[in-house]
Structure 1
């Protein structure tokens, strides 16, 4: 089973994938999201790394994002980023 992950900027749908886990840079601290995570919302830190794990034990892909929000619901994780700055 996999987590449905979407990364959206005001310009476009940046990414839409099924992944194992995403570590989100929340303003109250980083948090990991796996499939079945409890519903929640969080604001995001600016210029912080979003870590995307394609599979368990994989090396994470890191993307630097500039602020925004994250929502976890029964469908998965959606990150609404002001912008994706660069690969970290």
Structure 2
């Protein structure tokens, strides 16, 4: 099973994909999200999202500035103010 993951900015849908795990820079600390994670919502600090395609793989990093992350029944949605790259 894989985590459904979306990265969105005010301008566009940047990415909609499946991942093994995504590490997110939350304001209270970085946190990892995998399939079946408990639902919650938090604000983001400036930093890098790390996307692991499979267990043990090297992460793809995408820099984000501000925004929110929501974990729900459909997976992880990141609403970033802006991204770099």
**Shift in Å at residue 62 of structure 1?**
0.5
Provide Cα deviations, 1:34-87, integer angstroms capped at 9, x if missing partner: 0000000010002x011000111000000100110000001100000001113x
Is 2:60 the counterpart of 1:61? yes
Instruction: Tell me which residue corresponds to 1:10.
Output: 10
Name stretches of at least 5 consecutive residues in structure 2 with no aligned partner: none
Provide Cα deviations, 1:2-37, integer angstroms capped at 9, x if missing partner: 000000000000000011000000000000000000
1:1-88 alignment runs, 5 A limit: 1-46=1-46, 48-86=47-85
Task: Compute the TM-score of the two structures, normalised by the length of structure 2.
Answer: 0.98
Task: Compute the TM-score of the two structures, normalised by the length of structure 1.
Answer: 0.95
Name stretches of at least 5 consecutive residues in structure 1 with no aligned partner: none
